[in-house]
């Protein structure tokens, strides 16, 4: 069974989408759409895409894909989803989903009313170090979970030219650190620790060249009694060959010891009362962040083809956006908010 995929978008991150799809067996990218003719032409040449369009709806009518991959900016998410839903075409859509919680909820309703599969492209939980951490937790290697911490330090946010070379729209986002970046870790925290029951946040803007916040601390309470801390600062870097590989460093702690992630994608495990040692595991240094885009796409293909359980459905993903709203609400009110 070959799954026919059409992609809407040819921006910076879309390159990882096209690369990931072409490496999955029995997946055929049958079309690409963009309003930017130069990037569309370059993308088609680079990835060998035969048909290109300046109108996504026309693309859907002419190539009749099984799946539409929305890799376009948030303002285009809802109309693209509605076009696919009207034609009975399944959808995977990049985050930030729809740009805001209200739009995201409306998109989920549209998809469910049409009976299509709707997935959010949230690839951080598919990064191999996070999958390995989940495996160890499931095996009981960390015991009863006490807490999780992540220090986000990509180091790309200093000076007047911050973000301009790769994603210049970062400078104008009214909500930046949490809405664009920490949302990934909200999903990872839920993936590893369970449901969030409360948040406390303090957010700051350090670079005057950008509009939104670029540093902040968020404290999470989890329903199982564990706690979490996200400490984000986009101006500071961390030890790594590529500071965007892991984006920072993580600790997961429990009654049986802790697991530590460094900026090189290495995991270290320390059983309680023993010494810390490297934890060997296998991952691929290709694509984006351990090939996480490709791994997510493979997960979706397996669901469509074999009916395997699906992570990050549109409905399930709404919880991440509700937590995001609570984070901004807490920062504005200066106190803890329950969820």
Residue 215 is predicted with a pLDDT of 98
Measure the CA–CA gap between 97 and 118, rounded to whole angstroms: 11
CB neighbours (10 Å) of residue 176?
25
Q: Tell me, yes or no, whether 132 and 271 share the same domain.
A: yes
Quick one: pLDDT band at residue 251, thresholds 50, 70, 90? very high
Measure the CA–CA gap between 242 and 337, rounded to whole angstroms: 35
Q: Tell me, yes or no, whether 162 and 90 share the same domain.
A: no
pLDDT average, residue stretch 58-76? 97
The domain of 152 spans 125-283+320-338
**CATH code at 32?**
3.40.50.720
pLDDT average, residue stretch 269-286? 97
Q: Tell me, yes or no, whether 75 and 153 share the same domain.
A: no
Structural domains of the chain, count: 2
Residue 26 is predicted with a pLDDT of 94
Q: Tell me, yes or no, whether 92 and 166 share the same domain.
A: no
pLDDT average, residue stretch 137-145? 98
Q: Tell me, yes or no, whether 63 and 193 share the same domain.
A: no
Q: Tell me, yes or no, whether 150 and 103 share the same domain.
A: no
**CATH code at 258?**
3.30.360.10
Q: Which two tokens stand for residue 179?
A: 């809405």
Residue 1 is predicted with a pLDDT of 84
pLDDT average, residue stretch 209-233? 98
Residue 19 is predicted with a pLDDT of 98
Q: Tell me, yes or no, whether 249 and 220 share the same domain.
A: yes
From residue 216, give the alpha-carbon distance in Å to each of 95, 200, 205: 20, 11, 8
Instruction: Give the list of residues 6+ apart from residue 262 with CB closer than 8 angstroms, or none.
Output: 239, 240, 246, 249, 268
First to last CA, the chain: 43
Q: Which two tokens stand for residue 52?
A: 């290109």
- pLDDT more than 90, % of the chain: 99
Does residue 38 lie in a domain region? yes
Closest by CA to 126, choosing from 193, 195, 194, 187, is: 187
Does residue 308 lie in a domain region? no
Q: Tell me, yes or no, whether 58 and 72 share the same domain.
A: yes
Does residue 295 lie in a domain region? no
Last residue of a domain, one of 105, 121, 137: 121
Last residue of a domain, one of 121, 149, 175: 121
Q: Tell me, yes or no, whether 51 and 9 share the same domain.
A: yes
Q: What is the DSSP letter of 55?
A: -
Does residue 30 lie in a domain region? yes
Residue 166 is predicted with a pLDDT of 87
Q: Tell me, yes or no, whether 215 and 235 share the same domain.
A: yes
Q: Tell me, yes or no, whether 101 and 84 share the same domain.
A: yes
pLDDT average, residue stretch 13-19? 97
Last residue of a domain, one of 104, 121, 138: 121
Report pLDDT digits (tens) over 161-215. Answer: 999 998 899 999 999 999 999 999 999 999 999 999 999 999 999 999 999 999 9
Does residue 290 lie in a domain region? no
In the predicted structure, residue 265 carries a pLDDT above the cut 90: yes
Q: Tell me, yes or no, whether 80 and 177 share the same domain.
A: no
Report pLDDT digits (tens) over 284-334. Answer: 999 999 999 999 999 999 999 999 999 999 999 999 999 999 999 999 999
Measure the CA–CA gap between 91 and 106, rounded to whole angstroms: 15
From residue 223, give the alpha-carbon distance in Å to each of 134, 149, 334, 338: 17, 16, 22, 11
pLDDT average, residue stretch 261-276? 98
Does residue 150 lie in a domain region? yes
Does residue 151 lie in a domain region? yes
Show the 3-state SS of 82-132.
HHHHHCCCEEEEECCHHHCHHHHHHHHHHHHHHCCCEEEECCHHHCHHHHH
Query: pLDDT averaged over the chain?
Result: 97
Does residue 304 lie in a domain region? no
């Amino acid at each position: 069974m070959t799954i026919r995929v059409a992609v809407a978008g040819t921006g910076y991150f879309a390159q990882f989408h096209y690369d990931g799809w072409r490496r999955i067996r029995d997946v055929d990218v049958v079309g690409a759409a963009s309003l930017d003719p130069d990037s569309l032409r370059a993308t088609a040449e680079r990835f060998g895409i035969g048909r290109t369009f300046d109108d996504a709806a026309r693309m859907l009518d002419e190539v009749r894909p099984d799946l539409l991959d929305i890799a376009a900016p948030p303002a285009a998410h809802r109309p693209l989803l509605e076009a696919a839903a009207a034609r009975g075409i399944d959808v995977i859509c990049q985050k930030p989903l729809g740009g805001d919680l209200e739009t995201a909820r409306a998109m989920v309703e549209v998809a469910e009313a049409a009976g299509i599969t709707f997935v959010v492209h949230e690839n951080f939980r598919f990064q191999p170090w996070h999958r390995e951490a989940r495996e160890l937790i499931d095996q009981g290697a960390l015991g009863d979970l006490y807490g999780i911490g992540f220090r986000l330090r990509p180091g790309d946010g200093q000076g007047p030219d911050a973000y301009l070379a790769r994603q210049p729209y970062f400078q104008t986002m009214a909500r930046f650190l949490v809405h664009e970046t920490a949302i990934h870790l909200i999903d990872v925290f839920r993936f590893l620790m369970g449901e969030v029951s409360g948040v406390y946040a303090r957010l700051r803007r350090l670079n005057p060249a950008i509009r939104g916040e670029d540093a902040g601390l968020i404290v999470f309470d989890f329903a199982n009694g564990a706690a979490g801390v996200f400490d984000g600062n986009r101006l500071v870097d961390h030890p790594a060959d590529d500071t965007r590989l892991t984006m920072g460093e993580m600790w997961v702690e429990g009654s049986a010891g802790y697991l530590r992630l460094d900026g090189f994608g290495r995991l270290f495990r320390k059983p309680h009362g023993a010494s810390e040692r490297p934890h060997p595991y296998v991952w691929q240094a290709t694509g984006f962040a351990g090939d996480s885009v490709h791994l997510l796409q493979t997960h979706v293909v397996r669901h469509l083809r074999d009916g395997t359980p699906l992570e990050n459905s549109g409905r399930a993903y709404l919880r991440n956006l509700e937590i995001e709203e609570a984070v901004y609400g807490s920062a504005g009110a200066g106190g803890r908010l329950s969820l």
